[in-house]
Structure 1
């Protein structure tokens, strides 16, 4: 259900990553004269966008419908979590930067949510053989 969506959504996020690079170049002169902490936070936020895009592309390549309905529901919950986290990290890039504070609560929340979603997908992958083929 989410496989193709993750693939195309991930490609869009990778394109957003490229556009945020242009944004930093044109709006902030590629961060040249920026204070070091803000420069590091901008670059980290920029790389988080790429990471979340690549997570979505990878999921799009791997997700397959499961025979077990519960596995499908749990997998869908993990997918929705990753999609929400991806949108949140992009929003955080534009709203939390530049900053005088190292704390970025939206970015931190997006990282926790994507960790949760990826963990769900990992557990589903480990459990699928046991639940889908109970006789083995």
Structure 2
């Protein structure tokens, strides 16, 4: 599974590049777009890069406990999908409410908490 996250992260990096090309081609590099949608597209774009980096780095470490690993792995698989959904579906809206991004960020928070707890459990045993 460690290799999976590394390669998944590499694929997500390609998605990051593709979303950048999409913004450049489809929206003339975001010129002439209202501030709200431009901010939404760019933030979702950066979040995709963020989750790509997390997956690549997570592919290089070992989790201390199988339960924590499953939690962290699930969060790392689902959060990029939610950010990609947010990029293509929620970003064009002028409404600032983006539930997919919110839940993806909660998954990343769960990943961090799980990893910290696993770290201290490993050190105490």
TM-score bucket of the superposed structures, by smaller chain: over 0.9
Structure 1 distance, partners of 2:24, 2:80, is 22
Instruction: Tell me the CA shift for residue 108 of structure 1.
Output: 0.9
Instruction: Tell me the CA shift for residue 40 of structure 1.
Output: 1.1
Structure 1 distance, partners of 2:89, 2:71, is 27
Structure 2 residue 119 is matched with structure 1 residue 130: no
Aligned partner (choices 113, 116, 120) of residue 119 of structure 1 = 113
SS in 2 for 1:63: coil
Residue correspondence of structure 1 range 26-105 to structure 2 within 5 A: 26-63=25-62, 66=64, 71-105=65-99
TM-score (ref. length: structure 1): 0.85
Structure 2 distance, partners of 1:118, 1:10, is 17
Per-residue CA shift, 1:7-51, capped at 9, x if unaligned? Answer: 111111111001100011111111101001111111111000000
TM-score (ref. length: structure 2): 0.92
**Equivalent pairs, count:** 125
Per-residue CA shift, 1:82-125, capped at 9, x if unaligned? Answer: 21112111122111121110111111111111111222122212
Structure 1 distance, partners of 2:17, 2:70, is 28
SS in 2 for 1:75: helix
Unaligned 5+ segments in structure 1 are 132-136
Q: What root-mean-square deviation, in Å, do the aligned CA atoms of Structure 1 and Structure 2 show?
A: 1.3
Unaligned 5+ segments in structure 2 are none
- Report if the CA contact (8 A) 1:82-1:118 is conserved: no
